[in-house]
Amino acid sequence: MCRSIKTLREPFTPQVTDADMEAAALQYVRKISGFRAPAAHNAAAFDAAVAAVTAATRTLLDQLVVRGAGSAAADVG
C-alpha cells in the first residue's frame, strides 16, 4: 500500500526516532485520505490522525519482541 514507508523494527532499523514514526504515520494518512495536504477545514482531523497513528506505531514497536535480538524492541523514541 505505502511503498515508501520503511520497516521500523529491529533489525531493519536499529534506532527509530520520533521523526521516523511521524513520517511513516504521515505517509499512511496521506495515502488513505487521498490528500497530500488537507484543506483548512480538514486540517484538525488530518493532524489528529497522524498523531494517533504515530502513537499506535510507538506502542507497537515498544511491545514487539524480536526473536534472536535478546530483548524487546525498546527505546524507540
Q: Where are the domains of the chain?
A: 18-61
Distance CA 74, CA 71 (A): 8
The length of the chain is 77
Tell me the mean pLDDT in the region 27-48.
96
Question: What pLDDT does 70 receive?
Answer: 53
Question: What pLDDT does 12 receive?
Answer: 78
Q: Considering the entire predicted model, what is its pTM?
A: 0.77
Sorting pLDDT into bands at 50, 70 and 90, what band is 59?
very high
Contact 57, 25 (CB under 8 A): yes
Is residue 10's pLDDT more than 80? Answer: no
Question: What pLDDT does 73 receive?
Answer: 46
